[in-house]
A and B are shown apart, each in its own frame.
Chain A
Amino acid sequence: MNKKIAFSVALCSACVFAQTDEVTSYDDAFFDEPATVADEPAAVGEKPSKSSDVTVLDGLSVEDESEAETSPVDTKTKAESVKVLDAKELQGSSATIAEATNRSSGVKIRQSGGLGGESKINIRGMEGKNVKVLVDGVPVDNGNGSLSINDIPIDKVDRIEVYKSYVPERFATDGMGGVINIVTRNLPKSSIAGSYSFGSFNTHKVSLDAKYVWVTDSAKQRSVETGISAYYNYSDNDYKFTTPYMDTTVTREHNHYYSYNIAPFVNLNNFWFDKVSVGGSYAKSFMQVQATSHRVEKMTMDGNGLGLSLGVEKSKLFLDGLSAGLSFNLSASDANLVDTSSVYFYSWDKGDTRVSDEPLGERAIGAPSLAKYTKFSINVPWNVAYSFNDNHSLTWSGLYKYDSQKFKDELTLVRTINNTPFDGYDFSIVSGLSLENIFFDSRLQNVLGVKGFYYKLNADNEKDKITRLKNGNVDKKDFGYSENIRWKIIESVALRAGFQHSLRFPTRDEIFGDGLYVASAPTLKPEKSNNFTAGIDVDLDKLPLILKIHLEWNGFYLLMDDRIYISPFSSTPRPCYNSSGTKTKGFEVETNIDVNEYVNLSWNMTFQDVRSREDDRTYGISEGWIVPNIPRFYTNFGIEFHAGDLFFAEDFFKIYWLANYTDEYYYSWKVSKKQKRIIPSAFTQDVGIEYSIMANRLSWNFEMHNLMDVTAYDKFGESKMGRAFFTKLNFNI
């Protein structure tokens, strides 16, 4: 855990902006939750098995290259539906975390804007708040399923675990669609690591990690680790884009972004506990707001976050096999929206304006804001594990989370109808129990889990707002459960099956509104889902002409009830509502082939058919309709040539081609044969070259994204970045 606590605290509090363009909620507009994030205590003593020859997408196994005390993962069994993207392949790359994750089967990350923009994660058709983003096992997103994960330097990542249609009980969080757990890297000894990246649109990224270890008592293995982790990101984001709203291509001229954070830490090893970790962080972000429909010249958002954390870990607690970890984390943050311009641009034409003596605002005419959102958070994650023996263990995990928040908008205080969000607090306790078993010499592996949830949301009374709301307190409790099993039929073939009953509680914004885009909906019910998954893994080697091949097939059948939608009102704020549940059927195919020691081929494809389960007369929705805004078919290709000791001893060279095809999908419910609002299909290609020397201590990478400069969309109404290059220098000393 050690430095990761500090780092992840900083990480989240720095992610202050999620998106600027398609603003659909307060958090979208402002930032990914400025909450404290802490490392979840590890299941100490469960050191994962090491593995060699980890490929880019390494199947089901969790190949942990870091120390044992990372966040708890399914280290003993391989029964869970998880895909691991390994650090060794990620760290040299110029790709962002979103881009790297987007190459997995079953995962589609819909990017909006450039650096600092929103990355909306879709896993097997479940999107947004149903997908949880964790850093080292602890939720860091703001609950809306988006996170500016591109802020996180990929160099700081040890691995990315993608859990699909499954939220492990040991991650004490709600959610149904899956989890992206970003496990950060832990420098193994006194060392310095860093990188500098430069790319199109004046994009700069700098990251630095430094650690020094004092061994104070080698006999007792006591040591003190201290260090700092920091990063800085900047981009003009001034790429050209187009939308159906305009007849031409427009350059994003008002989208400068920067973010940085600094996170010092101190770890005490084998003093009283196995590990005592203390960390702090400071983070800041700033972004000019770029609209997609009209000119904006002044509107900005910024945020600050300060975090402190303390964690302890202890193995052999009272008895052999029992280990525990606990951490306590505080954070305070604020975010500001400044939209006080007295000039409103109707279009991209500088002369097409409305001018007033009073602030008009640029977000929407007549809706100026000078808003400040402050938040204080406490997170207390814990983890207790007992290993009966090498094959059987029980883990109890939990997370207590408290947030208080205040909102003030100096320009909306005198409104007749007060739509500002409710001040107040909320807290939750989520706790899970996992039983992991290995039988028959690892041929049969099983993970059984149960999880309980309790949430309480409170809204402070203000004037007559509670009267309108009718209830200032909302509390909910429920439970979920899961079962995953893997049976290795023969050495090279394994079958998997899994089931999870889980839920996703409405967020505070959905219940009480956010003051800008989301209206209160106090009667909103949790979404619930029963997820069935199955899969086959085939691993073959020593084949004629092929060194090694991994084949994988996954099928999924997901039944969701009470799906939460945002109202299609033409006005804002808009309330959320429970409507037609969905039925998702789909499958993924994945292959990874090492043709020989120099050439690797990879391919995966995903098909998912997400449809309404029943009629909803209120919104005119009928059973069996295709749910909008969910990609139905996409496929990824990769070819890599690599060679070591090419020019020097311990050098490494690789050149690669990555491609993606995403079929068209729909902006609204598929009703007509003449559906016009379509997110069009696109075939995009990236190429890259990488060279490292001195056993990867120094590496250089160059990538060209969207090589053919294809106009591609991740969402209706906003084209993505066109051709762009990025280059990076990386060092480890």
Chain B
Amino acid sequence: MNDLAIRVEGLGKQYRIGGEKNGYKTLRDTLSDAAMAPLRRAKKLLQRQAYGVGEMNESIWALQKVCFEVKWGEVVGIIGRNGAGKSTLLKILSRITEPTEGCAEIYGRIGSLLEVGTGFHPELTGRENIYLNGAILGMKKAEIECNLDEIVAFAEIEKFVDTPVKRYSSGMYVRLAFAVAAHLEPEILLVDEVLAVGDIAFQKKCLGKMGQVAKEGRTVLFVSHNMHAVRNLCARAVLLEEGAKAADGEVDDVVAVYLSGTQEQLEATVHLPPSKSEAPIVGRRLRFLGANGSPKSVFRIREKWQIVLEFELTEYLSHVIGAVGIRTVTGTPILTYWSTPKDLSPGSYFVEFSMEVPLKASRLSFVVGLSSNNNTFYYVEDVGNVTIVEVAEGKQPFRASGAGILVTECVSEIKRLDSP
């Protein structure tokens, strides 16, 4: 029992969502409705039905029957789609809002970071905001004083520490905000998607700091959409789906479950735009399939997958070639596949490219071309969106950024120069 940091049992949160039954149409409607509102509200109040503003008659469960335990020193990622209940969970655990049912036990001093720069006041100087924000996040004055120089240095704002933050650039502002937050030192830390701040260099620094926090043996609950960050920081992940726990376990497995979820399947079929000019051959759809034929748009490194290009011919064409080019999202061509040429009569066709793309974790977009006798009749760029993810398989995960985009087999061994 005693190595527990957090225990969540049957946690649920119900929100009332109010909505006007029919939207306002004209200014006159708006005005008359505003005029009648007090009467209706008073009637409701008498019937003890008013919950404040709006017609509060519908409710949703943002979170329902969620149970899990977190041990001391564990770093757990909370992942899930928008609206899955991640933020609600953190809000309950950080005591901002109360659960509707269930309970949670927290065995230590807790600090939460649902936003960077909460309570920053534009009129106050950087230094003053450090004190204010620190106090809001739960730091003691003495703690802030100890860390002041470090925070200023981390945020890289030494020269502007006595300037009101309203004169800061937005970059300086978020850097300062994160710097204060990063120096929060509770035993249990709840973090919600706050790493997406600043330029790339600063984001790296933030991730580094988070990693350091994780290594210090503190307990961290980390909500993020950035799967890369989740995999780097957390050993374990919990997947939430529509307010309920859908998976819990090793981070790579849970991330894989999440990525293979329905949201990604939607992107697995791309409808190609129609041709700009009258053309005898037109692309229809581009589909992405896993090795077993199921639609997917997220693949693991070295996973076998297929691109299916569907097209239509309106007249007989000889020597037809379908081509699919793979590019990075920034537009760098990586490689192109061509089908073997074939003479075709009018009708619908598809061509399948089965391959194992030797790419590292990346996001890909595609180029589609259709030609006959070396005349390109159909050509579109920047269609589709496929993600290659890094999921450790076996004992050799391919981990290293900036080491190029290709992954290939290579036999290498260290040998002694002076060996006999």
A binds B: no
Query: A residues touching B (Cβ–Cβ < 8 Å)?
Result: none
| B residues neighboring A (CB under 8 Å) | none
